């Protein structure tokens, strides 16, 4: 009898393991393996909690005073003027970006990539695609269907398949992958892959064509550009920002 029970127990464990493995998509495994196996030397620290040495204002040589450091995190405090987006000094093409963000109640912000800096484009979002940062509980944009403006969305183009965003005032761990070599992009929020997309080609152009950006001259046209953080008029915090070139 004990032998039969042991056999049944082992069988249940094996079935459970198979089910867990089947629920993991290839991209989830890939992101997890990259983060867990890569050594610290392969990552570039963009913000270590002590300085803005790797950042500056968009269309500016300096960091804007609205961006400060508080308890090891970047803090953006909005002013009446607006438009105080910041970008990395370095440009990137294929990468994995890892960071944590925390939004104020009812707040809205965003993370850009491939920002093409030119005076012809007054805002970073005129060229750089955005991954949404949002208080899903307190901001009305999160309630609209399709959920193209929910936290983690490829803004106005791809909605998250899961809502795993933590409440306002709590930290969210975000990993953004952009790889033109494999033509793949993804967003992992709090350990779950919630968005996947192509980053160039016909499908990319079709997504733009079906969005608010369809007539924007420079939007999503550049494979190489700056990473940026948005001034959307609300308080927002970022910390532990690092990037790995692919």
Q: pLDDT tens-digit profile of 178-212?
A: 999 999 999 999 999 999 999 999 999 999 999 99
Q: pLDDT tens-digit profile of 117-168?
A: 999 999 999 999 999 999 999 999 999 999 999 999 999 999 999 999 999 9
Q: What is the DSSP string of 64-97?
A: -TTEEEETTEEEE---SS----EEEEEEESSEEE
User: For the chain, which residues make up each domain, given as ranges?
Assistant: 25-245
Q: What is the DSSP string of 92-120?
A: ESSEEEEEEEEE-TT-EEEEEEEE---TT
Q: pLDDT tens-digit profile of 16-36?
A: 444 444 445 554 554 555 555
Structure tokens at 174: 């975000």
What does the pLDDT read at residue 40?
A: 64
Residue closest to 108 by CA, chosen among 246, 245, 236: 236
- Homologous superfamily (CATH) of 25-245 is Exo-inulinase; domain 1 (2.60.120.560)
pTM for this predicted structure: 0.85
CA distance 226 to 112: 8
User: What is the C-alpha R_g of the chain?
Assistant: 20
């Amino acid at each position: 009898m004990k032998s039969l029970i042991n056999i049944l127990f082992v069988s249940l464990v094996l079935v459970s393991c198979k089910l867990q493995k089947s629920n993991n998509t290839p991209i989830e495994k890939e992101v997890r393996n990259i983060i867990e196996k890569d050594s610290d030397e392969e990552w570039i620290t963009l913000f270590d909690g002590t300085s803005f040495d790797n950042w500056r204002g968009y269309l500016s040589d300096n960091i804007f005073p609205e961006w400060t450091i508080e308890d090891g995190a970047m803090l953006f405090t909005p002013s009446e003027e607006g438009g105080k987006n910041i970008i990395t000094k370095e440009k990137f093409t294929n990468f994995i970006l890892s960071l944590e963000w925390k939004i104020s109640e009812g707040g809205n912000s965003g993370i850009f990539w491939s920002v093409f800096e030119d005076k012809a484009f007054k805002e970073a979002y005129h060229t750089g695609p955005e991954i949404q940062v949002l208080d899903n509980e307190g901001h009305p944009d999160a309630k609209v269907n399709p959920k193209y403006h929910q936290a983690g969305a490829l803004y106005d183009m791809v909605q998250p398949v899961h809502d795993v965003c933590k409440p306002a005032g709590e930290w969210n761990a975000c990993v953004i992958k952009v790889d033109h070599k494999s033509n793949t992009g993804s967003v992992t929020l709090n350990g779950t892959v919630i968005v996947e997309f192509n980053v160039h080609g016909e499908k990319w152009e079709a997504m733009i064509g079906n969005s608010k950006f369809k007539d924007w001259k420079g939007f999503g046209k550049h494979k190489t550009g700056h990473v940026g953080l948005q001034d959307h008029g609300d308080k927002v915090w970022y910390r532990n920002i690092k990037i790995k070139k692919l």
